[in-house]
Amino acid sequence: MNTRILAALAALTLPFPLAAQQTAAHDPAALQQKALADDTAYGIVEDLTTEIGPRLAGTEREAAARAWAVERLKAMGFANVRIEPFDMKTWVRGIETAEVTAPFAGSMHISALGNSASTGEKGLEAEVAYFRTMADLDAAPEGSLKGKIAFVSHKMTRTQTGASYGQFGDVRRRGPAIAAKKGAAAIVIRSVGTDYHRNPHTGGTNFPEGVTPIPAAALSIPDAENLERMIRRAQPAAKPVTMKLVLTPRQIGITQSGNVIAEVPGSDPDAGMILVGGHLDSWDLGTGAIDDGAGVAITAAAAKLVMDAGKPKRTIRVVWFGAEEVGLFGGIAYAQKHGAANHALAMESDFGAGRIWQVEFKLPEAAKDLQTRITQALAPMGIGRGAGAAGGGPDVGPTVTLGVNAIDLQQDGTDYFDLHHTPDDTLDKIDPKMMQQNVAAWATVLGIVANDPADLLPKGK
């Protein structure tokens, strides 16, 4: 029997062509239904926060998390699981107390900011110089803060998108260096957050070269407001408010961090890979459940669903980035090592586990059909298309800036900054059903993009 007849008979025995079989294996509706009953993501973040806990970048706990991640990703069936290490300067927390000493008295809840200098074990007591906004601090004359503790307040706005973080986070990112340049002995800020618990919000700050670091810390929001009231009541009598700070963090030198990488191998190496993930490190006050245990769990669980459904056309590369919180070091190291070559798309989950409500794209004009298919597939889940352009997220951002495409699945962040960088970032804040909805949305997008025929590779790369 000749080969043409054999081929024809073989085709008749198949319910549909092979290409159609692959599409059916990654059918969006089927993936969604599986994801909505799947507890893989919750299991990952439960085990990570229980067995490892907080994972401050560059410390032995982050190293333990990387070793744990390698074993977990291998057990899930991923291929090419490995660690790509990099070195970094590492800061660790010490004792931290704050107390108003005159003309009133009261202890305050405080947390040192990453890269803060130390007051020494005996502490520092000085007059408080109050600034209502970051702009007011910027306007202070040079040398006017000599020997004083600067205090900058503000009121971050609660939003679904978290957009106000960019504006109000400036006081944490830039405020300590500005205060140092103007002669301040230390600085305290109102926490960059939206809750009213006595939980201060930590986070990183930076001192540019040539600026000597000073002690820098965040007050819980109730304590910051109480300090404002004290200052207002002391003003008529021209009595300075004084505060004693004890902050003993330290720089421990160069240590190692790293990115944990795992893959779902695709059938077509020339189609490019999809880069997805979140960051494995966390701040040290809570257990890093929402920031970003949730993100690494959601992306890995979605990639596994696609893997279990059948071999995709494009490789899916899952990266659990290191040292995001202290300077995006993992994302930068990844982009420097891998560049844009062979990256068709990048996506990231780093905004907790709130319900996904919107999708945004940064895709070539030729991929309009792909955008439409994704939008239609997500619509039954109540996820609409946004008007903005996708940015990819903090860790994949350095790769996206090299010309790589991006898709953002936007989560509801209305309550995110109640928990962000606080002791309240713990497992009980994650709703398992909302996490499953996240995984369903992610699996939908990955299943479609991983098998789409559009040319998504960066041009000229």
Mean pLDDT for all residues in the chain: 94
| R_g over Cα of the chain | 25
Cα–Cα distance, 29 to 32 (Å, whole number): 5
In 295-392, beta strands by DSSP E: 316-321, 343-348, 356-362, 384-389
Q: What's residue 15's pLDDT? A: 37
**What's the pLDDT at 5?**
36
Residue 69's closest CA among 59, 83, 57, 56?
83
Q: Tell me which amino acid residue 147 is.
A: G
Tell me how many degrees the CA angle 350-355-360 measures, rounded to the nearest 5: 65
Kindly state the DSSP code that residue 260 receives in the 8-state scheme: E
CB 41 within 8 A of CB 435: yes
Task: Please write the tens of the pLDDT for every residue from 309-329.
Answer: 999 999 999 999 999 999 999
Question: Is 10 a residue whose pLDDT tops 70?
Answer: no
Q: Where in the chain is CATH 3.50.30.30? A: 94-248
Q: Are strands 149-152 and 186-190 parallel, antiparallel or unpaired?
A: parallel
pLDDT band for 24, please (50, 70, 90 cuts): confident
Note the pLDDT of residue 23. Answer: 58
Span 78-103, average pLDDT: 98
Domain 19-91+254-449 is of which CATH architecture? 3-Layer(aba) Sandwich (3.40)
Return the pLDDT at 126.
Answer: 98
Number of Cβ within 10 Å of residue 254's Cβ equals 10
Residue 155 clears pLDDT 60, i.e. is over it: yes
Q: Which residue spans within 292-401 are E strands per DSSP?
A: 316-321, 343-348, 356-362, 384-389
Separation CA 281–CA 323 (nearest Å): 6
Between vectors from CA 196 to CA 190 and to CA 202, what angle results, nearest 5°? 45
- CA 374 to chain CA centroid, nearest Å: 24
φ, ψ dihedrals at 256, nearest 5°: -110, 140
Greatest C-alpha distance within the chain: 107
Is residue 4 very low, low, confident or very high in pLDDT (cuts 50, 70, 90)? very low
Element (H, E) at 92: strand 79-92
Strands (E), 374-459: 384-389, 406-411
**Under DSSP, is residue 107 helix (H, G, I), strand (E, B) or coil?**
strand
DSSP 422: S
pLDDT of residue 25: 77
Q: How confident is the model at residue 16 (pLDDT cuts 50, 70, 90)?
A: very low
Nearest CA-CA partner of 248 in 91, 125, 401: 91
CATH, range 94-248 = 3.50.30.30
pTM confidence score: 0.93
The alpha helices in 193-293, defined as continuous H runs, are 221-234
pLDDT of residue 460: 62
Given a cut of 50, whether residue 8 has pLDDT beyond it is no
Residue 31 pLDDT exceeds 60:
yes
Matching residue, tokens 């005996």:
122
User: Does the pLDDT at position 47 exceed 90?
Assistant: yes
389 three-state secondary structure: strand
pLDDT over threshold 90, residue 1: no
What single letter denotes the amino acid at residue 155? K
Task: Give phi and psi for 218, each to the nearest 5.
Answer: -110, 135
Helix axes 60-75, 40-51, angle to 10 degrees: 150
What confidence tens digit (pLDDT) does each residue in 195-239 have? 999 999 999 999 999 999 999 999 999 999 999 999 999 998 889
Residue 27 pLDDT greater than 90, yes or no: yes
First to last CA, the chain: 48
Of the candidates 346, 325, 352, 323, the one whose C-alpha atom is nearest the C-alpha of residue 405 is: 346
Cα angle 183, 188, 190; round to 5: 140
pLDDT tens string 381-393:
999 999 999 999 9
- The rounded distance, in Å, linking the Cα atoms of 83 and 260 is 5
Phi, psi dihedrals of residue 24, rounded to the nearest 5°: -65, -35
pLDDT in tens, 325-377: 999 999 999 999 999 999 999 999 999 999 999 999 999 999 999 999 999 99
**Using one digit for the tens of pLDDT, what is the confidence trace for 229-288?**
999 999 988 899 999 999 999 999 999 999 999 999 999 999 999 999 999 999 999 999
**Contact at 8 Å (CB) between 396 and 348?**
yes
pLDDT digits (tens, 9 = 90+) for 91-137: 999 999 999 999 999 999 999 999 999 999 999 999 999 999 999 99
pLDDT of amino acid 288: 98
| Domain span(s) for CATH 3.40.630.10 in the chain | 19-91+254-449
Cβ proximity of 82 and 226 under 8 Å: no
